[in-house]
């Protein structure tokens, strides 16, 4: 029995010694630390965008009538001035002929009234007629001239109405859907088709007031910034655009200001009504960067472990300015000379002394990207 007890005691001592050795090794583990990286950098921000063609108009009937002919097809390109639709025009031809006849009649009456005035002037000089009779003749002449002006106006209206039965493209573009076909009776104002020029497109997006001010402060030429566009299929549009205009007012309800960027779209990939996301790159001067993996959250607050000159660990709250890929840009709570624990934040606690290994700041950030 004594021999067995002695053996058990030996095993227990070996186990305790092994545990003690393991604990010592754990305490001797070196934890990587580094100072925040202060560097000039940039970051990207996405904004939902509404896309509009540079020119997009409704083609509507200006006069009532039947669609006599359609010279284009849906989705096809057309040139400026190309004939699109023809409306029945017999009625408008008759109106033009009638107004032309009325003009000729008024001109004939005016000539007769002019002759009568000349005749009255001759007779008045011979004291055959009174001055009042001459005045009556002159009034008739003025009335005849007024009828000429009226007839000319009617003729111009008739000519305009006749011309409106032929509808041409106002600019180069693409025809959209044509809802009414040949033979359809169309009222004035009826939509015939929509027409777009997609060679260039406008992307409209909204930016918060604070972001707008930050953009302006970080880049004096913010309005000429190049931007990129992510299309609805999450693919990057092949070509960069430029911010052209910013609206003059902040929307009181949303607190946003609207931007407009222009993109060249020579292949017509983007259409009127497309959607996407604008990507804006903004410069950051002297940004203080730390790895996200070296932070932890407690009740929605973000903390890091700071290691002092005696290698004592202290918990410190930081306030991030923004979150980039795998890193935080620190706004406050940390200074560039402090050293933070990069890894092993689950293995240490407040006030504990640890062994450390200093890692260059740039290497610490580069290793996580």
pLDDT digits (tens, 9 = 90+) for 37-72: 999 888 888 899 999 998 999 999 999 999 999 999
Could you read off the pLDDT of 297-315 as tens digits, one per residue?
A: 999 899 999 999 999 999 9
Domain ranges in the chain?
Answer: 29-40+287-366, 44-54+197-285, 65-86+167-189, 89-164
Residue 13 has pLDDT above 90, yes or no: no
Query: Cα separation of 129 and 133, whole Å?
Result: 7
In this prediction, residue 129 has a pLDDT band, given cuts at 50, 70 and 90, of: confident
Could you read off the pLDDT of 139-176 as tens digits, one per residue?
A: 988 998 999 999 899 999 999 999 999 999 999 999 99
More confident residue, 177 or 6: 177
Q: Quick check: 149 and 166 in contact, CB under 8 A?
A: no
* pLDDT for position 24: 43
CATH class of the domain defined by 44-54+197-285? mainly beta
User: In percent, how much of the chain has pLDDT > 90?
Assistant: 56
Q: Which fold has domain 89-164?
A: Helix Hairpins (1.10.287)
Q: Which has the minimum average pLDDT: 56-60, 89-93, 218-222?
A: 218-222
Residue 14 has pLDDT above 50, yes or no: no
Q: Quick check: 171 and 218 in contact, CB under 8 A?
A: no
CATH class of the domain defined by 29-40+287-366? mainly beta
Could you read off the pLDDT of 254-284 as tens digits, one per residue?
A: 889 999 999 999 888 999 889 899 998 877 8
Q: How far apart are the first and last CA of the chain?
A: 64
Query: Cα separation of 326 and 321, whole Å?
Result: 14
Q: What is the DSSP string of 204-235?
A: EEEEEHHHHHHHHHH-TTGGG-EEEEEETTSP
In this prediction, residue 17 has a pLDDT band, given cuts at 50, 70 and 90, of: very low
* pLDDT for position 218: 62
In this prediction, residue 247 has a pLDDT band, given cuts at 50, 70 and 90, of: confident
């Amino acid at each position: 029995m004594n021999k067995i007890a002695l053996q058990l005691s030996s095993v227990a001592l070996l186990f305790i010694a092994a545990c003690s050795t393991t604990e010592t090794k754990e305490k001797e583990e070196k934890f990587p630390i580094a100072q925040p990286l202060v560097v000039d950098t940039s970051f990207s921000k996405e904004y939902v965008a509404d896309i509009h063609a540079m020119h997009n108009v409704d083609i509507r009937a200006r006069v009532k009538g039947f669609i006599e002919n359609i010279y284009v097809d849906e989705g096809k390109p057309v040139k400026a001035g190309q004939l699109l639709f023809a409306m029945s025009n017999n009625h408008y031809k008759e109106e033009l002929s009638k107004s032309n006849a009325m003009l000729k009649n008024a001109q004939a009456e005016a000539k007769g009234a002019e002759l009568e005035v000349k005749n009255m002037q001759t007779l008045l000089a011979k004291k055959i007629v009174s001055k009042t009779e001459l005045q009556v003749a002159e009034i008739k002449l003025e009335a005849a001239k007024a009828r000429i002006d009226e007839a000319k106006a009617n003729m111009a209206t008739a000519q305009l109405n006749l011309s409106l039965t032929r509808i041409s493209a106002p600019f180069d573009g693409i025809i959209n859907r044509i809802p009414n076909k040949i033979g359809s009776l169309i009222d004035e104002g009826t939509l015939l088709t929509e027409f777009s020029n997609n060679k260039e497109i406008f992307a409209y997006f909204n930016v918060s007031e604070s972001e707008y001010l930050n953009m302006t402060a970080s880049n004096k030429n913010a309005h000429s910034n190049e931007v990129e566009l992510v299309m609805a299929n999450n693919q990057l549009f092949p070509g960069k655009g430029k911010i052209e205009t910013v609206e003059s007012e902040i929307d009181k309800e949303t607190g946003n200001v609207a931007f407009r960027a222009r993109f060249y779209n020579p292949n017509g990939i983007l259409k009127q009504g497309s959607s996407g996301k604008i990507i804006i790159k903004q410069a950051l001067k002297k940004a203080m960067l730390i790895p996200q993996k070296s932070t932890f959250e407690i009740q929605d607050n973000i903390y890091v472990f700071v290691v002092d000159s005696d290698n004592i660990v202290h918990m410190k709250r930081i306030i991030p300015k923004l979150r980039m890929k795998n890193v935080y840009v620190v706004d406050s709570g940390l200074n560039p000379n402090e050293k933070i624990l990069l890894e092993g934040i689950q293995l240490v606690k407040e006030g504990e002394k640890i062994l450390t290994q200093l890692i260059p700041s740039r290497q610490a950030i580069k290793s996580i990207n």
